[in-house]
Structure 1
C-alpha cells in the first residue's frame, strides 16, 4: 500500500509540474515567446506553442500511465535541454541562482529516469506503451 501511494504521489508531482508549465505558457504565450527569444532561438512564438502542447502531452502520459516510460524519457531529455538552454554556463556569471536552477534540472532528470525504468506502478495506470519492462526499459 505504501509503495502504491508513493508511486501515485510521484506521478501527481511529475504531472503537476508539466501542467503548471503548460498552463503558464497558455496563459501568456507572448511572454513565453519573449523568454525563448532571449535565449536566441528562432521562431519563438511557434516554439512556445510547441512547448505548451508537448508539456500538456507529457502531463497526460505521466498522470494516466499511458506511454509512461516513453514520456518520462522524453521529459528527461526535455528537462536537460531546458537546463542548458535557459540556465546553462553562459548564464552563471555573477548569478549563482542560475547555477542552482541548472542543477535542479538534473535532480528532476534523476527522478524521471527512475520513473522511466520502474514504470507507472501497478494501480491507476493505463497499460499502453512501446517499451516493455522485461527488456530493461
Structure 2
C-alpha cells in the first residue's frame, strides 16, 4: 500500500509541476516568448505555445499513466534542455542563483528517470505505451 501511495504522490507532483509551468505560460504567453527570445531562440511566440501544449500533454501522461515511460523520458529530455538553454554555464557568472536553478533540474531529472524505469504503478494507470506495457 505504501508503494502505491508513493507512486501516486510522485505522479501528482510531476503533473503539478508541469501544470503550473503550463499555467504560467498560458497566463503570460508574451512574457514567456520574451524569455525564449532573450535566450536566443527564433520564433519565440510559436515556441512558447508549443511548450505550453507540450507541458499539458506531459500532465495528461502523468495523471493517466498512459505512455508513462515515454512521458517520463520526454519530460527528462525537456527538463535537461531547459537547464542548459535557460540556466546553463553562460549565465552563472552574472547570477549565482542560476547555478542553483541549473542543478535543481538534475534533481528533477533523477526523479523522472526513476519513474521511467519503474513505471506508473498498478493503480490508477492506463498501462499502454510503446516502450513498456504491463501485461
Fold agreement, TM-score > 0.5:
yes
Q: Say if 2:33 and 2:44, in contact at 8 Å, map to a contact too.
A: yes
Q: Distance in 2 between matches of 1:132 and 1:14?
A: 19
Q: Distance in 1 between matches of 2:129 and 2:106?
A: 25
Match in the other structure for 1:68: 68
Q: How far has the Cα of 1:95 moved from its partner?
A: 1.5
Q: Which runs of 5+ in 2 are unaligned?
A: none
After TM superposition, the runs of 4+ consecutive aligned structure 1 residues lying more than 2 A away are none
2:2 aligned with 1:35? no
Match in the other structure for 1:13: 13
Q: Say if 2:127 and 2:133, in contact at 8 Å, map to a contact too.
A: no
TM-score, normalised on structure 2? 0.97
Q: Say if 1:14 and 1:62, in contact at 8 Å, map to a contact too.
A: yes
Match in the other structure for 2:45: 45
- Cα deviation, 1:103-137, whole Å, max 9, x if unaligned, reads 00000000000000000000010111111268xxx
How many residues align? The count is 134
Q: Which runs of 5+ in 1 are unaligned?
A: none
2:88 aligned with 1:88? yes
2:92 aligned with 1:110? no
Q: Distance in 2 between matches of 1:109 and 1:102?
A: 11
Q: Say if 1:117 and 1:133, in contact at 8 Å, map to a contact too.
A: no
Match in the other structure for 1:124: 124
2:101 aligned with 1:101? yes
